[in-house]
Amino acid sequence: MVNTARATSGLRELTRRAVRAQIAETAMTLFVANGFEQTTVDQIAAAVGMSGRSVFRYFPTKEDMVVGHMDEIGDRLAEALAARPLEEGPWTALRHAMQPHLDELTDNADTNLAVAAMLDATPALRPSLLNKRARWAEALLPNTVRRLRGPTGTRELRARAIVSSALACLNVAVDEWARTGGTKPIGDLLDTALTAVRG
């Protein structure tokens, strides 16, 4: 009985995540096509075949739909870092963990360049994006702490500094890639940024 209840609960959560992902993806498509401010929740709801009220059960605000899309990326980054060998140092492991995200950006370059332009042109989204980056950092922190040696009392502090710096490098690289219309290899941009930070 307990196992059945657990399985039902797990299936429900998987379904909820799938619906959230569909809404977020659809919303991002509409935001890019029409502009964030110009796109209504009712338009998003119609595109996914549900009511506006139902959409609000998954995302309280339009801004949350953008961040919901970004949360998926953060989850994948954390999973990629967790999959790296523990003997890799934190910088190396983080760089490898970021590669699938870079590949995804370049595989869908036209769409992602348009998303970057939309985000840059929408000041109202900046607080949500800052919160997103903080969540990414928290997700990456545990598997960064595990890779550090030296005094245990400062490991979390050092890990936070490394994760924050690495994510700042990722953001700078993506911004430069978008600014140049995707003409510069994004991996090279990230490596240049990481080298500058690490000195």
pLDDT digits (tens, 9 = 90+) for 116-131: 888 888 888 888 888 8
Q: Which domains does the chain have, with CATH numbers?
A: 1-60 (1.10.10.60), 61-199 (1.10.357.10)
pLDDT digits (tens, 9 = 90+) for 14-42: 888 889 889 988 998 999 999 999 999 99
Predicted TM-score (pTM) of the model is 0.81
How far is Cα 57 from Cα 60, in angstroms, rounded to an integer? 7
3-state secondary structure string, 146-177? CCCCCCHHHHHHHHHHHHHHHHHHHHHHHHHH
pLDDT digits (tens, 9 = 90+) for 159-186: 999 999 999 999 999 999 999 999 999 9
Q: Which two tokens stand for residue 192?
A: 């240049």
pLDDT digits (tens, 9 = 90+) for 90-108: 999 999 999 999 999 999 8
- Of 159, 155, 164, 149, the C-alpha closest to 194 is 164
CB neighbours of 48 closer than 8 A, spacing ≥ 6? Answer: 22, 23, 26, 55
